[in-house]
């Protein structure tokens, strides 16, 4: 790889930059972080010319919409200067940030790679060193020009990823879309699963409306307490995690009233699945059809996290209620596919 490739590394916090797993309360300087990087991973110098920016030092559970904007703004400012970008991020909300960035940037012609680690970089048995080396390599290569997560050996589309493990180094997976690449002795890219490059210029839009109600349905759940909140417009959109293919009790009066109020107040309701693999089909059973008849939108194979972030994006963009279903089911950056069978072997990630 040519040494003159330029990569911007944006540090936002997380385990990678910690010392002895203690939370960092003082913002680290760019020089401190750069010294740690090059001391523990001297190979980075051979991969690219790296500039380091410490945007924040947050546990990712504290991430907010304003932080997504700060990350996006930094990428936008450096877009013409750098060949690729690496975002160091905590694992807990990495998939939310990845989804947000994928919706903020349309027409990317450069890689944006999110990574982190399960153990701090300064520890001997850390996974941070490998993750950093491969993330910088990917960012400098220009081979995958979309927002991705790299962890362990997997390159995943950011808005398709889920956090799969709290303890394993292979912390993320992509159950409903194949890995974009697998890193071993070689980097094996599955080009047929990458986003198509359309030759259009990059467009950046950063707004999100956090007024989304997320509900994970369980047996005997009473939705009555949420009906007044809908009627008062305390929430502007709803995402419900249902059973299986989108099934919810068709004889539950509180649920039916919840849907009626949402429809009356023109509040979009998207239904996703508690299952990690497969696609929501509201027309498959009566317990799904009752939602469909009352205006709910089946979320196909989108993850719960991406559904929440996409809902936030569309609400901010003031997509009208009448056009919300079409907008939600239209991919922005490969986050949803309603046209692939849930049983298709193409969904299985390569191992």
Over residues 23-73, the pLDDT tens digits come to: 444 455 667 777 778 888 888 989 999 999 999 989 899 999 999 999 999
Element (H, E) at 127: none
pLDDT of res. 76: 98
pLDDT surpasses 60 at 343: no
267 vs 118, which has greater pLDDT?
267
Where do we find the tokens 């010294």?
A: 35
Look at the alpha carbons of 98, 305, 116, 184 in this order and tell me if their dihedral is positive or negative: negative
Q: What value, to the nearest 5°, has the Cα angle with vertex 176 and ends 174 and 179?
A: 45
Please give the pLDDT value at position 172.
98
Q: Which pLDDT score, from 0 to 100, does residue 92 have?
A: 96
Q: Assign 21 a pLDDT band (cuts: 50, 70, 90).
A: low
| Contact between residue 44 and residue 37 where contact means Cβ atoms under 8 Å apart | yes
- Tell me the pLDDT tens digit for each residue of 194-253: 998 776 789 999 999 999 999 999 999 999 999 999 999 999 999 999 999 999 999 999
Can you give the pLDDT at residue 28?
57
Which structural domains are found in the chain, ordered by start?
6-204 (3.40.50.1170), 212-329 (3.40.50.40)
Amino acid 95: pLDDT? 99
**Residue 35, CA distances (Å) to 32, 46, 121, 201, 333 in order:** 5, 16, 12, 36, 35
Question: Which residues have a catalytic role annotated?
Answer: 15
Q: Is the dihedral of CA 185, 186, 190, 196 positive or negative?
A: positive
């Amino acid at each position: 790889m040519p040494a003159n490739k330029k990569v911007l590394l944006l540090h936002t916090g997380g385990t990678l930059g910690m010392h002895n797993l203690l939370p960092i309360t003082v913002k680290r300087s760019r020089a401190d972080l750069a010294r740690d990087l090059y001391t523990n991973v001297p190979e980075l110098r051979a991969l690219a010319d790296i500039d380091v920016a410490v945007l924040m030092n947050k546990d990712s559970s504290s991430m907010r919409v304003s932080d997504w904007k700060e990350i996006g703004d930094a990428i936008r400012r450096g877009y013409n200067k750098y060949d690729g970008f690496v975002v160091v991020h905590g694992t807990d909300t990495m998939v939310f940030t990845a989804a947000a960035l994928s919706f903020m940037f349309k027409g990317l012609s450069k890689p944006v790679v999110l990574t982190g680690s399960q153990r701090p970089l300064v520890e001997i048995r850390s996974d941070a060193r490998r993750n950093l080396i491969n993330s910088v390599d990917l960012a400098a290569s220009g081979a995958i020009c979309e927002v991705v997560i790299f962890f362990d050996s997997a390159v995943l589309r950011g808005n398709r990823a889920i956090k799969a493990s709290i303890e394993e180094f292979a912390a993320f997976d992509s159950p409903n879309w194949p890995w974009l690449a697998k890193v071993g002795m070689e980097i094996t890219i599955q080009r047929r699963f990458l986003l198509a490059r359309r030759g259009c210029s990059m467009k950046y839009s950063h707004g999100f409306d956090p007024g989304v109600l997320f509900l994970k349905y369980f047996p005997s759940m009473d939705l009555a307490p949420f009906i007044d909140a809908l009627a008062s417009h305390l929430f502007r959109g709803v995402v419900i995690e249902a059973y299986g293919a989108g099934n919810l009790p068709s004889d539950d009066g509180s649920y039916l009233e919840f849907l009626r109020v949402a429809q009356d107040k023109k509040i979009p309701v998207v239904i996703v699945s508690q299952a990690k693999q497969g696609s929501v089909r509201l027309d498959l059973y009566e317990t799904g059809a009752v939602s469909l008849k009352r205006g709910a939108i089946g979320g196909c194979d989108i993850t719960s996290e991406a559904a929440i972030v996409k809902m936030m994006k569309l609400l901010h963009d003031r997509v009208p209620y009448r056009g919300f279903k079409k907008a939600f089911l239209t991919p922005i950056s490969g986050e949803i596919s309603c046209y692939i069978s849930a049983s298709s072997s193409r969904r299985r990630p390569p191992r």
